Structure 1
């Protein structure tokens, strides 16, 4: 089965119009939240359902 909530650390994602950088998945409990940081460094914890339904990966472009 493909894990639809698999996220890559330090990748940029969008959640409800806000850009967030994935930090890690908390290991403190069974239904641990996914931890993201916004551009101001504020921590945002999202449930697995929110991640599956509302979080989309964004492509970052860098200049050479």
Structure 2
């Protein structure tokens, strides 16, 4: 289970088989939506429950 406080901006996460980058926490505190973007700049708003249950952090590897 991923803690919503552990989310880091511009880090890569997986949600239902899709790789998404965390953008920010929505300004609307009613539903506590978390904003993610995919590689095609499509926006995904996920609830806190979805983030805790279905979002996994991915490790990115880069070569120098």
Higher RCO, 1 or 2 (CA under 8 Å, sep at least 6)? 2
For structure 1, the 5+ residue unaligned runs are none
Q: How many residues align?
A: 62
More helix by share: 2
* TM-score for the superposition, normalised by structure 1: 0.90
Distance in structure 2 (CA, Å) of the matches to 1:25 and 1:54: 17
Give the RMSD, CA atoms, in angstroms. Answer: 1.3
For structure 2, the 5+ residue unaligned runs are none
Q: Any runs of at least 4 consecutive aligned residues in structure 1 with deviations exceeding 3 A, and if so which?
A: none
SS at match of 2:28: coil
* TM-score for the superposition, normalised by structure 2: 0.90
Distance in structure 1 (CA, Å) of the matches to 2:29 and 2:59: 31
